[in-house]
Structure formats: C-alpha cells, structure tokens
C-alpha cells in the first residue's frame, strides 16, 4: 500500500522547495552577481539578501535596458539634507534582480516587524520573484534592534500574524509562496511549538538554521532538533530546508537523507566558491581563478556596485595569493581587470561600467563638507522664500472667504510643533535601512 505524503499546494507562480540545494540569504554576499553565479554552477534556487521592508517602500521599479535587470531605486541625498540642490544626483539601487537569468528561481527575503509594512514592500516585488521569505533568524543588531530577524522568535504571535497577512494579501493574489527562516530555540519542545504555529499560517516552506540566536558561524551547527522539525513540517505538508555547516551538494544530499529534510541551504561555503553547488559528476569544485574571472564578468554585466564586488573578491581570492594583494589596491573595474590581467575584451567592458558607475577615472568631484553646508543653506533659504510666498497667497484667499488648507493651517503652529511634524521628522518619514 502506497503512503501519500501530504503537501501544501504550490502556487502557480511559485516554486516547490523539495529536492533543492539553494543559496542562503546573505548580506553583501547575496547580491545579483553572486546569485547568478550560484545558479550558473548548479544552485536550484537562490535567496536574495535580507532587505528591510521600509527600505523598499517608496522605491521606483525600473527596467534597466543596459543590464537586463529590474532595479528598485530611490534618490540618494549623498549626505545632503536637501537632495534638490544636486540635480545630477544618482539613484541608489535598493534591490536588483535579473528576470531572465534568475527570475522564477529567486526568493526575496524580507526583514520586517510589521504585517502592514511587510505587505507594502512585498507587493512591490511579488510579480518578479518566485516567493517571499520572512527573516526570523538574523541575530545581528541592525535587525533585532528593530524587532526583526531573530527577535521575532520571542514574539511568535507577531511572526504568525506577519506570515498570515503575507499569505492572504500577497501570496494568494500573486500566486506565489510565502516562507519563513528561523533558528532553533533552547529546547526541542519550544522549537516544536513554534514550528507547528508557523506551519499553520499557510506558508509553503520553512528553513531551520541549526543554531540558536546567540550562536555564531564559527560554532558548529546543532542538528539534534532537525529530525523533529522535518517531521512536523511533513505532517503539515510544508517543505523543510536545513541550514548550517553545509559545504557541498554531495553533503547536502546526504544530510537531507539522514535527517528527513526536503532540501538544504548553503551559505559560507558558497561565499568563498559558488561552484560548490556543482555535483562531482558535472565537474565538481572549480579552481578559484575560473570562479573569480566568471564573477568579475557577471558583476560587470549587471553593473554591480564596486564596493560590493571588491568585498566578494576578498572572500574568493586566497589571501596568500599575489592576486589578492593586487586586488586590494584597485579602485575601479578597469584597475581590477588590469591587475588580474584579463585582457582587452574585459578592459573594454570595464571602461563602460566604470563610466556608468562614475568610478575610477570617471569619478566626479565630490562636494566638500563646507560646500555641502553652504548649498544646503542656500536651498533652505530658497525653500523658506517659496513657502512664505505661497502662504501669503493662501492667506489672501482666506481673507476673501476661501477656506484654508491643512497645509496652510499648519503654518500657524508654534515653530517647535511644526518642526516635530515636518516631512523630515521621524514620525513623518521613517528611516530606512537596506542590507
């Protein structure tokens, strides 16, 4: 008699996590070129880096004809209080994805502590990705201090509310899956209670990082709760992925079989050499020289931020190799291509990218602190005069019997109250953080 394994329905535009070896979400190490390289070398799915919901809200979705990517951007003030003083300011890319090369194999991971803002952000990217994953495992202060990441493990009701809201308001309308990534708790009983609650929210997948919140990557993963988590997920039909100290596709397959999971994530090992996703039968681990050259080419194809590219190369090039030292002294893609001796084809591409990013020989002169301060002062004076002029016109209308608007009425507020409620105040414009 055949036993049917329970499975939650996989949405039409979603993806089943079962049987997959995937790239874990990593800050800095999970940007677009890193994901594309992982897929090239055999990753079945890729998670983007945790991106805070408030960082994405208010961005503009743009199709980049040059890179073939979809960019979610916002204007950057570059330290200026008033961005309008610099009409040539660049837009900051908050999130970038490549629809053709990763689209329906990409999971967007969201950092959130609020169902409403989670939905606002998730709706922006839902049509471009295969799923939305809630980060409930990051132990870093930038996440936990805002009630996000691993802090959600201490507020399971809030976490469940976020997931249920995402399922009904984003997952179902867009026909994609909603999932969550957690860490194990201090006891198996606590973890089991949490997992059962999460699986009842309508999610299609759950990833368990086999470390507690205080543990760091250098500490060995604890897998004694993994079989239990996998069993609970199996009972409810939710796919279960494991994470923690997985170093190759072969090891992932063995661990999946040993602990009864549906799939596995690879993190740190992929940061050093993404070819670890490639099976031995398909060629196995590639030499770092091959991987680095492919990474540089991919980074230039999508015009990746120079700082991020250089950071990743610092992880991929062996520290004792002379190429590492040469790389550390570079300040642009042109410098890099010359230092690594990649030839004229690469150099021609590097010049184009440097010009687009305005780095190296194409870097524009930056305003000094004194110049920026003076520009801000001039802009403020201009704004004050414009406001005063507009206010005078409105007050004249009011005297003629026209009702004042709320904006004009606000001019009568005491200066301290008006300042606290102004558009640049914390209540009026929450700060954002992209990671």
The span from the CA of 163 to the CA of 176, in Å, is 13
Alpha-carbon distances of 198 from 19, 89, 162, 344, rounded to whole Å: 21, 44, 10, 54
The tokens describing 383, both together, are 């704004």
The tokens describing 242, both together, are 């494991």
Q: Could you tell me how many residues make up the chain? A: 435
**What's residue 377's pLDDT?**
77
The span from the CA of 123 to the CA of 121, in Å, is 5
Average pLDDT, the chain: 87
**What's residue 370's pLDDT?**
81
**What's residue 6's pLDDT?**
83
pLDDT band at 390 (very low <50, low <70, confident <90, very high): low
Of the residues 32, 138, 210, 233, only one is catalytic, namely: 138
**What's residue 385's pLDDT?**
61
Domain 20-282 has CATH 3.40.50.920: no
Share of the chain above pLDDT 70, in %: 82
pLDDT over 90 (residue 270): yes
pLDDT over 80 (residue 427): no
Higher pLDDT, 5 or 75: 75
Q: What is the per-residue pLDDT across 23-33, written as a single tens digit (0 to 9) for each?
A: 999 999 999 99
What pTM, to 2 d.p., does this model score?
A: 0.83
pLDDT over 70 (residue 304): yes
pLDDT band at 409 (very low <50, low <70, confident <90, very high): very low
Higher pLDDT, 366 or 432: 366
Task: Mark whether 160 is an active-site residue.
Answer: no
CB 94 within 8 A of CB 121: no
Q: What is the per-residue pLDDT across 12-24, written as a single tens digit (0 to 9) for each?
A: 999 999 999 999 9
Strands, sheet with 60-64, edge to edge from the N-terminal-most edge strand: 60-64, 69-75, 91-97
**What's residue 75's pLDDT?**
85
**What's residue 298's pLDDT?**
98
CB 105 within 8 A of CB 141: no
Q: What is the per-residue pLDDT across 182-237, written as a single tens digit (0 to 9) for each?
A: 999 999 999 999 999 999 999 999 999 999 999 988 899 999 999 999 999 999 99
Q: What is the per-residue pLDDT across 65-87, written as a single tens digit (0 to 9) for each?
A: 999 999 999 986 554 445 554 55
**What's residue 243's pLDDT?**
97
**What's residue 382's pLDDT?**
64
Alpha-carbon distances of 241 from 23, 45, 181, rounded to whole Å: 11, 12, 9
Which of 87-96, 130-139, 215-224, 423-432 is the least confident region?
Answer: 423-432
pLDDT over 50 (residue 421): no
**What's residue 399's pLDDT?**
39
Q: What is the per-residue pLDDT across 241-256, written as a single tens digit (0 to 9) for each?
A: 999 999 999 999 999 9
């Amino acid at each position: 008699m055949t036993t049917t394994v329970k499975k939650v329905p996989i949405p039409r535009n979603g993806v089943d996590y079962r049987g997959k070896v995937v790239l874990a979400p990593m800050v800095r190490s999970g940007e677009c070129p890193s994901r594309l390289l992982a897929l090239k070398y055999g990753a079945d799915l890729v998670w983007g880096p945790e991106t805070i919901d408030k960082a994405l809200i208010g961005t503009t979705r743009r199709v980049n004809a040059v890179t073939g990517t979809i960019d979610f951007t916002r204007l950057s003030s570059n330290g200026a209080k008033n961005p309008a003083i610099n009409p040539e300011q660049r837009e900051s890319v908050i999130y970038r994805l490549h629809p053709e090369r990763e689209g329906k194999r990409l999971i967007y991971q969201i950092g959130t502590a609020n169902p409403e803002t989670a939905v606002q952000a998730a709706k922006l990217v839902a049509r471009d990705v295969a799923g939305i994953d809630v980060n409930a495992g990051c132990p870093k202060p930038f996440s936990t201090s805002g009630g996000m990441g691993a802090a959600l493990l201490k507020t399971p009701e809030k976490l469940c509310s976020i997931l249920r809201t995402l399922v009904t308001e984003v997952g179902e309308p867009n026909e994609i899956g909603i999932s969550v990534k957690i860490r194990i708790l201090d006891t198996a009983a606590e973890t089991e209670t949490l997992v059962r609650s999460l699986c009842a929210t309508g999610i299609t997948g759950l990833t368990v990082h086999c470390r507690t919140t205080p543990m760091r990557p250098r500490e060995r993963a604890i897998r004694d709760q993994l079989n239990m988590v996998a069993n609970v997920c199996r009972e409810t039909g939710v796919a279960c992925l494991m994470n923690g100290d997985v170093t190759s596709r072969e090891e992932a397959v063995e661990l999946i079989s040993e602990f009864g999971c549906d799939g596995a994530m690879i993190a740190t090992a992929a940061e050093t050499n993404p070819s670890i996703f490639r099976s031995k039968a398909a060629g196995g681990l590639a030499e770092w020289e091959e991987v680095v050259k492919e990474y540089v080419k991919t980074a230039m194809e999508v015009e990746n931020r120079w700082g991020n590219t250089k950071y990743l190369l610092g992880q991929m090039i062996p520290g004792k190799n002379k190429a590492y030292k040469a790389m550390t002294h570079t300040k642009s893609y042109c410098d890099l291509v010359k230092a690594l001796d990649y030839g004229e084809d690469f150099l021609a591409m590097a010049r184009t990218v440097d010009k687009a990013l305005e780095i190296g020989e194409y870097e524009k002169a930056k305003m000094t602190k004194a110049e920026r301060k003076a520009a801000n002062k001039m802009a403020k004076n201009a704004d004050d005069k414009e406001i005063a002029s507009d206010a005078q016109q409105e007050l004249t209308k009011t005297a003629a019997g026209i009702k004042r608007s709320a904006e004009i009425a606000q001019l009568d507020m005491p200066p301290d109250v008006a300042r606290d409620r102004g558009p640049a105040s914390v209540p009026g414009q929450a700060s954002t953080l992209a990671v």
